[in-house]
Every structure is written in structure tokens, then in C-alpha cells.
């Protein structure tokens, strides 16, 4: 006489095989991940205006760039980034923005994104 398995056993075995065959996604803990910004004050006729740029890097090699005048967002775009030979290459697809190529430097206790010419793109928040 042949024994029948309870109805949930085959389902459990399929589920166990599916879960055990999944590979784990490696964690991206790159030091650039986070929020970087640059702020300046522009003297407009009769008032000062705060201009702010912000780069938010995430762990899947994408990010969001935003430009503010005062508290209003005046421009935003997604970007992609990669790390190669000590530099971060930032591309802004679908925009007229030029690519940025920067590295992380530590200066006077602050982490900065600096380009090849030593110009500061942003400071870590």
C-alpha cells in the first residue's frame, strides 16, 4: 500500500527549495552613499537668495540631484554613479548637465567631493 503525503508537504518542499536557491544581494556600503550639498548666498536686487544644490546617493548606484532657490525646488533630476580608479563618475541622463568626476577628500574635519582641479562640488551633510 502506498502512503500519501499530506497536501501541504509538497508545497512546503517547493517553497523550501525556492528560498534556499535565492542568492543574497551584496550590500553596497560605499562611503559616498548619503546626502551631499553646496550652498551659496546670491545677492539679488533688494534681497539675498540662498542657492542650494543637493546630491542624494543611494546604494544601487543611482541618486537624486535637486537645486533650490530659497525653499523652492527649481530643478531636479535623477543621476547614476559609479566608482572607478578612485573617482566617482556622476551622469545626469536626459539633462544638459555636464557629468561630474569627483573623489572624496577629508579637509579640516569635513568630507568633500572634489574634482580633478581641486574645485569642491559638495560637502557631506
Domain definitions of the chain by residue range: 34-124
pTM of the entire predicted model: 0.77
Let me know: does 37 contact 113? Beta carbons within 8 Å.
no
In this predicted structure, what is the pLDDT of residue 27?
81
pLDDT-wise least confident of 21-25, 46-50, 66-70? 21-25
Long-range contacts of 56-65 (CB under 8 A, 24+ apart): 57/30, 57/32, 57/33, 57/81, 58/33, 59/27, 59/28, 59/29, 59/30, 59/33, 60/28, 61/28, 63/90, 65/92, 65/97
Please compute the mean of the pLDDT values over residues 95-111 and round it to a whole number. 96
pLDDT band at 15 (very low <50, low <70, confident <90, very high): low
Q: Across-strand partners of 12? A: none
Please compute the mean of the pLDDT values over residues 74-95 and round it to a whole number. 97
Question: How far is residue 81's CA from residue 91's CA, in Å, rounded to a whole number?
Answer: 6
CATH code: domain 34-124 is 2.40.128
Residues near 79 by beta carbon (within 8 Å), at least 6 away in sequence: 55, 62, 63, 64, 65, 90, 91, 92, 93
pLDDT band at 20 (very low <50, low <70, confident <90, very high): low
- Name the residue with cell 546617493: 57
Pairing of strands 62-69, 47-57: antiparallel
Amino acid at each position: 500500500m502506498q502512503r500519501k503525503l499530506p497536501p501541504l508537504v509538497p508545497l512546503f518542499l517547493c517553497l523550501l527549495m525556492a528560498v534556499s536557491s535565492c542568492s543574497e544581494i551584496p550590500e553596497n556600503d560605499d562611503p559616498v552613499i548619503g546626502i551631499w550639498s553646496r550652498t551659496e548666498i546670491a545677492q539679488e536686487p533688494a534681497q539675498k537668495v540662498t542657492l542650494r544644490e543637493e546630491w542624494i546617493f543611494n546604494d544601487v548606484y543611482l541618486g537624486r540631484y535637486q537645486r533650490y532657490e530659497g525653499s523652492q525646488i527649481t530643478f531636479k533630476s535623477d543621476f547614476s554613479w559609479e566608482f572607478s580608479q578612485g573617482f566617482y563618475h556622476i551622469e545626469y541622463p536626459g539633462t544638459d548637465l555636464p557629468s561630474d568626476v569627483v573623489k572624496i577628500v577629508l579637509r579640516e574635519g569635513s568630507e568633500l567631493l572634489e574634482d580633478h582641479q581641486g574645485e569642491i562640488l559638495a560637502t557631506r551633510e
